[in-house]
Homo-oligomer: A and B are copies of this chain.
Amino acid sequence: MNRQDVTEMIIINKKMKGLTWLDIANKIGLSKEWTTAALMGQMTLNESQATIIGKALDLPAEAVTQLQVVPYKGSLPTAVPTDPLLYRFYELINVYGTTIKSLIHEEFGDGIMSAIDFSMDIQREANPMGDRVKIVLNGKFLPYKTY
Q: Do B95 and A114 touch across chains, with their CB atoms under 8 A apart?
A: no
Q: Do A96 and B37 touch across chains, with their CB atoms under 8 A apart?
A: yes
Binding site of A, secondary structure by majority: helix, strand, loop or mixed? Answer: mixed
Q: Decide: A65 near B16, CB < 8 A? Known: A79-B80, A132-B138, A140-B127.
A: yes
Task: Give this chain's copy count.
Answer: 10
- Of the four ranges (under 10, 10 to 19, 20 to 34, 35 or more), the interface on chain A belongs to 35 or more
Q: Do A95 and B34 touch across chains, with their CB atoms under 8 A apart?
A: no
Which of B21, B43, B78, B95 interacts with A103 by CB under 8 Å?
B21
Q: Nearest residue in B to A22 (C-beta to C-beta)?
A: B106
Q: Do A147 and B103 touch across chains, with their CB atoms under 8 A apart?
A: no
Q: Do B95 and A73 touch across chains, with their CB atoms under 8 A apart?
A: yes
10 contacts between A and B (CB under 8 A): A74-B82, A74-B83, A75-B99, A85-B112, A86-B97, A89-B93, A90-B90, A91-B115, A96-B120, A107-B124
